């Protein structure tokens, strides 16, 4: 497993690098956004740990440009910002997860393991439910013959709903499986993203698949 760290605080980068190398990951460090983008877009890495604030090119721009280039490398974003608007901006840009500085290294290890597991899971065959189809390799989605464009986080959430179709999923379930950060802190973000999905996946179709179970959570259900 090859990991790229793009972090301008050299002590932080060195700390993360040593810890991950102790876990037998191959780790490369870049200290600015321009070099970080070039390396991340090379196809040589399996995971990107990306700082929000970087010299030459900020982390959000790096992430946006990677996704615009069609690069689906899993991205764990590091940030000193904990405001909901900043978190949503990072997720909308295509981040798979994020951590607020300062953090405990054991938690970062857990996030890395979760993202690598999810990346392996996303290499499987096409997923189907009702008239909904998901391509795990290219992260494309269709309802019938209509392609639906989703962000990386929207895709991750929809894939989790599809893999658990017919089950009522609490917000805590969704947070644990799609975000890996404390449910109590970011419960409103789950509702925000469910609303995003509803507009895109259900908005123009008479058969609404994403349904609310009052007091319990959400369910993907046909009819």
11 and 109 together in one domain: yes
88 and 176 together in one domain: no
The tens digit of pLDDT for each residue in 67-114 reads: 888 788 899 999 887 677 777 888 888 888 888 888 889 989 988 988
30 and 68 together in one domain: yes
Order of strands, sheet of 140-143, starting from the edge strand that comes earlier in the sequence: 127-129, 132-135, 140-143, 146-148
134 and 167 together in one domain: yes
CA distance 51 to 95: 11
84 and 25 together in one domain: yes
CATH number of the domain bearing residue 189 = 1.10.10.10
User: DSSP string spanning 109-174?
Assistant: HHHHHHHHHHHHHTTS--EEETTEEEETTTTEEEETTEEE---HHHHHHHHHHHHTTTS-B-HHHH
Per-residue pLDDT, 177: 79
Q: Which of 96, 121, 146 is at the close of a domain? A: 121
116 and 6 together in one domain: yes
Q: Which of 82, 69, 117 is nearest to 96 (CA)?
A: 117
Q: CA dihedral in degrees (7, 10, 16, 21; nearest 10)?
A: 110
CATH number of the domain bearing residue 39 = 3.40.50.2300
pTM of the model: 0.65
Per-residue pLDDT, 179: 73
If DSSP codes are grouped into helix, strand and coil, which group holds residue 46? coil
The tens digit of pLDDT for each residue in 127-152 reads: 889 999 998 877 889 998 999 999 88
Per-residue pLDDT, 186: 56
* Mean pLDDT (whole number) for 114-118: 79
185 and 156 together in one domain: yes
Per-residue pLDDT, 82: 66
157 and 104 together in one domain: no
Rounded mean pLDDT of the chain?
A: 88
Q: Which of 89, 121, 153 is at the close of a domain? A: 121
125 or 72, which is more confident?
72
Per-residue pLDDT, 19: 95
Annotate 91-128 with b (16+ C-beta within 10 A) or e (fewer).
bbbbbbbbbbeeeeeeebbebbebbbebbeebeeeebe
Q: Which domain range does residue 198 map to?
A: 127-220
What residues pair up with 140 in beta bridges, in sequence order? 135
Pairing type for strands 217-220 and 127-129 reads unpaired
CA distance 73 to 60: 15
75 and 140 together in one domain: no
The tens digit of pLDDT for each residue in 175-211 reads: 877 876 555 555 688 888 999 999 999 998 999 999 9
CA distance 215 to 199: 22
Q: Which of 121, 156, 177 is at the close of a domain? A: 121
Is residue 60 reached through a cis peptide bond, with omega within 30 degrees of 0 on the bond before it?
A: no
Per-residue pLDDT, 189: 84
54 and 98 together in one domain: yes
How many CB atoms lie under 10 A from the CB of residue 90?
Answer: 23
Domain count, the chain: 2
Per-residue pLDDT, 116: 81
58 and 137 together in one domain: no
31 and 137 together in one domain: no
């Amino acid at each position: 497993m090859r990991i790229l760290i793009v972090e301008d605080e050299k002590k932080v980068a060195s700390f993360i690098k040593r810890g991950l190398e102790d876990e037998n990951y191959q780790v490369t460090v870049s200290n600015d956004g321009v070099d970080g983008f070039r390396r991340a877009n090379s196809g040589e890495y399996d995971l990107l740990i990306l700082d929000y604030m970087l010299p030459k090119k900020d982390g959000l721009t790096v992430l946006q440009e990677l996704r615009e280039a069609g690069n689906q490398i899993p991205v764990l974003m590091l940030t000193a910002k904990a405001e909901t608007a900043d978190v949503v901006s990072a997720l909308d840009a295509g981040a798979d997860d994020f951590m607020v500085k300062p953090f405990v290294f054991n938690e970062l290890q857990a996030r890395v393991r979760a993202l690598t597991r999810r990346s392996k899971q996303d290499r499987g065959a096409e997923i189907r439910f009702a008239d909904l189809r998901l391509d795990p390799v290219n992260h494309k989605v269709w309802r019938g013959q209509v392609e639906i464009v989703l962000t990386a986080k929207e895709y991750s959430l929809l894939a989790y709903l599809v893999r658990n179709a017919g089950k009522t999923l609490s917000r805590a379930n969704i947070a644990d499986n799609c975000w890996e950060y404390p449910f109590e802190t970011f419960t409103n973000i789950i509702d925000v993203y469910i609303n995003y999905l509803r507009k895109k996946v259900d908005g123009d179709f008479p058969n609404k698949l994403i349904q609310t179970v009052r007091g319990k959570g959400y369910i993907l259900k046909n009819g």
